[in-house]
Amino acid sequence: MTKPTTLTTAQIDALGYTEARKAVKATATGTWVSTANSGILKAYLKGEITGDEAKARTFGASAPTSPTGGETALLAAALKAAVQPQLDELTTRIESASTTFAEAIDELSVRMATKAHSPAPVELPPTLLSDIEAIKTGYRVVSDAASKRDRKLDELTSMVKDAIERGNSAVTAMIAPVLGITTAPTSEDTTTLCFERFCQPGAALKPVLIKGGQGSGKTYGARAWGKKFDAYIEFGFQPETMPCDMFGFGTAKTDWVDGPLTRAWRLAASGKKVFVLLDEIYRAQGAARQSLLTPFSAREIDGKLYYALNTGRPIVDPVTGVETTEEILTPKENLAVAATTNVGAKFDVNADCPAGKERFVIVHVEVEESKLRAVLSAAAKAKGFAPAVVDKIIAFWKECGVLAADSFIEVRPTTRILSEALLYAIDEADVPTSLRLLGMNIWVAETIEGLPETEQVKKVNDAINKAFAK
């Protein structure tokens, strides 16, 4: 299979998402290019899959056999499955009413045919008038029902078309329950899979909580996903965080200032697709965390789910004229939420209660070599460094993993510090020095005097020298 690019495999692996999509757009067209994840884009660039196969993987269907594509066939099947039972029922009712009416007319025709041979007046069948009235009523009911089905069909068509534009996971969420089918996930990364399934723009299902070690890419991944939305709002928690910091408060200059969550609710209520990141949520104390339980409990109103937020802002109820506090209702699908937290005794975090945990889909992540390599490769490329420097940093990271597991150093280097060592290095030869300056006092323990523990410093230096030896 021919590659659609002159880039080497190593160069393709080093591409970020935006760069990979740009490279694919040079040789391919279609909505799948803007919807596919990095893995699919890179597989296409390497020549491992064709454009049709890439499109099929993106939309979760078999490769298209016609210009309409697999997603169009899936849409048609979903619409038919959704409305066909009701249409069948309407057809049966119409046929039944028509049969009854036809039978009455036939009986009347027989009577009319014998009129000339009988002096008696022709009598209408006793049920004819009631049958006609029943038919009128039946057709009126059927007409109303058909009108409702038409509106439902239009609504479903709009929703599914919108889902198709957003990609496979949204299509799955919207269509699969109707069809009674499941489709394979598009991503092997657990965090991305959860975002694809539960946090699609305009099709949000449930908040996602990402737990993991320091530097495991929790916040980085959430921020990247947030770029898909109309609006992105981030709030970082501290032990001192209070509900008013999230919802809003009055000041000496103005009666009310919206907090970040209130701003998110207002935008989502106006129809915007909003992504909210609650960073380090477990740093918050009880009051702040407990205040999130009610807002993230969906409320059903007229068959539709809403998130309700009581902002605390004093208002006058326009109906009763009584002073109260403002409540904002936003359609659940418009507000996608992700939260992050570190885990472990080394971090200042507070365990959540069962009720709080139930509000989220919880996923645990760790630093993986493939993700670390992707981040470091992007940083090296930005600096103009050779790819070999990334291999050396990975080797150092692996060695430190062994040292940390055996308690020879305090903690293992994180993605953040390793990538910063590249970004802040003067040149490639300066990377080892940059690693020492940025990370040494993080990775090693302190003596009782507050100085770096000498033996652990030696272990780190030995690991650096080993990884960067010529």
324 and 410 assigned to the same domain: no
| Domain-located, residue 388 | yes
Residues 289 and 403 in one domain: no
DSSP state of 270: T
In a domain, 177, yes or no: no
Would you call 145 exposed, middle or buried from its count of C-beta atoms within 10 A (0-12, 13-18, 19+)?
middle
pLDDT given for residue 61 in this prediction: 44
Q: Are residues 347 and 373 in the same domain?
A: no
CA distance 150 to 219: 44
Q: Answer whether residue 347 is part of any domain.
A: yes
Please count the other Cβ atoms lying within 10 Å of the Cβ belonging to residue 447: 11
Angle at 324 between CA 320 and CA 326, to 5 degrees: 110
Residue 10 structure tokens? 């190593």
pTM here? 0.56
Same-domain check for residues 254 and 217:
yes
pLDDT, residue 166, reads 47
**Residue located via tokens 């993986």:** 368
- Are 265 and 155 within one domain? no
Parallel/antiparallel/unpaired status of strands 299-301 and 323-331: unpaired
446 and 301 in one domain? no
Whether 176 is covered by a domain: the verdict is no
Give the model's pLDDT for residue 349. 52
Task: Indicate if 247 and 329 belong to the same structural domain.
Answer: yes
Q: Is residue 448 part of a domain?
A: yes
Domains identified in the chain, total number: 4
For residues 227 and 319, membership in a common domain is answered with yes
To which H or E segment does residue 342 belong? strand 335-342
> Does the residue 18 lie in any domain?
yes
Asked if residue 345 and residue 198 are part of one domain, the reply reads yes
| CATH number of the domain within which 319 lies | 3.40.50.300
pLDDT at site 308: 94
User: Does 140 lie in the same domain as 264?
Assistant: no
pLDDT at residue 251, as a whole number? 86
Instruction: Say how far apart CA 290 and CA 241 lie, in whole Å.
Output: 12
- pLDDT value for 69: 46
Residue 367's φ and ψ, nearest 5 degrees, are -70, 125
Please list the pLDDT of the chain residue by residue as tens digits (470 residues): 678 888 888 888 888 777 787 888 888 877 677 667 778 888 889 888 888 888 777 765 433 333 344 445 555 555 555 555 665 666 666 666 666 666 666 666 666 666 555 555 555 556 666 666 666 666 666 666 666 666 666 666 555 555 544 444 444 454 545 444 444 444 456 788 888 888 999 989 999 999 887 767 788 888 989 999 999 999 999 888 999 999 999 888 888 999 999 999 999 999 999 999 999 988 887 788 888 889 999 999 888 899 999 999 998 888 888 999 999 999 999 999 999 987 754 544 556 667 777 888 888 887 778 878 888 998 899 899 999 999 999 999 999 989 988 888 988 888 889 999 999 999 999 999 999 999 999 899 988 888 889 999 999 999 999 999 86
Residue 179: the pLDDT is 45
Residue type, 55: K
> What is the model's pLDDT at position 165?
47
Residue 208 falls inside a structural domain = yes
Residues 241 and 352 in one domain: yes
Residue 169 CA to residue 163 CA, distance in Å, equals 8
Range of the domain at 275: 190-365
Collapse the DSSP code of 151 into the 3-class scheme (helix H, G, I; strand E, B; otherwise coil) and give the result.
helix
Degrees to nearest 5, angle at CA 134 with 130 and 135: 120
Quick check: 372 and 213 in contact, CB under 8 A? no
- The sign of the CA dihedral 153, 154, 160, 163 is negative
For residues 338 and 223, is the Cβ–Cβ distance under 8 A?
A: no
Instruction: State the pLDDT at residue 185.
Output: 45
- Are both 107 and 245 inside the same structural domain? no
Whether 179 is in a domain gets the answer no
